[in-house]
Amino acid sequence: MGDKHVVRFEPVGIEIEVGEEQTILRAAFEQGVMLMHGCKEGQCSSCKSFVLDGEDIELDRYSTFALPDFEKDEGYTLLCRAHAYEDLTIELLNYDEDMIRSGLPITQAVAEVVSKDPVTHDMRHLVLRLVEPADVKFFPGQYMDIEIPGSGATRSFSMANTSARDSGQLEFVIKVYPDGLFSHFLDTTLQVGDRLDLSGPYGVFTLREGDVPLHPGAVRAGRCGPLGRRDRPDHRRAPAARDGGPVQGTRLRLRPTADGRGGDSAARPARRAGEAHLLRQVHHDRRSRGGVRPHQTRRRPAVPRPLVSHQRREPNDNRS
């Protein structure tokens, strides 16, 4: 095991210890710091950040689409791929100040298969009983990584139940693909009584407290997030769901597109541009309040740079 180094996140002022053998994002997860993330594989850029202080960083393999070479040279990095070999100060470009301090430390768990009942011809309801530990706390809407035995690979699936505290169980609704690494294994090989290794919880697609009514829409395996919120005891409670169909009582609001078909694609670019501008302004305001320590000399390029998409990307449960 390598040495540990202190990584400080600005402008929120949070510090964590990071071992040289783990990525910065993984270390943050283990210490309950919920940083924005998506694929966790260096492909999506959701965790892209800027190194303010420190030089000794190494990155695991990543996509240059997520981090082009010129951005890396300027000081940008991907937290899901970055290993720290000295103390660092990192500026978060994409974060939720309320969420970042409310994360749950990730847990390594072993679970036993209780059932894997068909929901439709290509969907399965997988129920796992936690063996060690007996309970894993998670926020409705989060997901677990499930390891495929013998492969070392994992796939991510959102929980369809609200808590494992009383039942000690985790439930998932999984679409079966003929060539899906986990879903094919689930459909053809996995048996009741088999044990699986899991880690989590991950994800930031969670229900927030507020006064705005919530009307979720979901179909097929994508309904796991809304299902996980259906028993929230507040006025934003999501309606119940019907097996194999959309959430009952869901209100779908469709905007006409340029070609006259339903959807919101016509309004999406303008909306994203407005939200990106708002995030830039918030980011500028936080920096102007003294979020960066005086001794730090590295500055982000003066030329305006496109902000990383604000959207919280979650794993595609259906491509498994």
Q: Residue 274 in 3-state DSSP?
A: helix
Q: What is the dihedral of CA 88, 93, 94, 97, to 10 degrees?
A: 70
Tokens of 188: 């053809």
Q: Where are the domains of the chain?
A: 4-93, 104-250
Tokens of 202: 């991950």
Q: What is the pLDDT of residue 206?
A: 63
Q: What is the pLDDT of residue 141?
A: 83
DSSP class per residue in 109-178: EEEEEEEEEEEETTEEEEEEEEEESS-----TT-EEEEEPTTT--EEEEE-SSS-STTT-EEEEEEE--T
Q: What is the pLDDT of residue 4?
A: 92
Listing from the earlier edge strand, what are the strands of the sheet with 195-202?
A: 154-158, 143-147, 195-202, 107-120, 123-132, 169-175
What's the gap between Cα 296 and its chain centre?
30
Q: What is the pTM of this model?
A: 0.59
Using only C-alpha atoms, the chain has a radius of gyration, in whole angstroms, of 21
Q: What is the pLDDT of residue 285?
A: 47
Q: What is the pLDDT of residue 211?
A: 57
Q: Residue 291 in 3-state DSSP?
A: coil
Q: What is the pLDDT of residue 62?
A: 94
Residue that the structure tokens 């036993």 belong to: 112
As a CATH number, domain 4-93 is 3.10.20.30
Q: What is the pLDDT of residue 104?
A: 80
Tokens of 308: 């990383």
Check if 4-93 and 104-250 are the same fold: no
Cα separation, 45 vs 39, in Å, equals 8
- CB neighbour list of residue 194: distance below 8 Å, 6 or more residues apart: 112, 113, 149
Q: Are 68 and 42 in contact (CB under 8 A)?
A: no
Q: Are 177 and 184 in contact (CB under 8 A)?
A: yes
pLDDT tens digits, 62-119: 999 999 999 999 999 999 999 999 999 999 998 877 778 777 888 899 999 999 999 9
- The third-level CATH classification (topology) of the domain covering 104-250 is Elongation Factor Tu (Ef-tu); domain 3 (2.40.30)
pLDDT tens digits, 207-241: 666 656 666 565 555 555 555 544 444 433 333 33
Low-confidence ranges of the chain (pLDDT < 70): 1, 205-320
10 Å Cβ neighbour count for 199?
A: 18
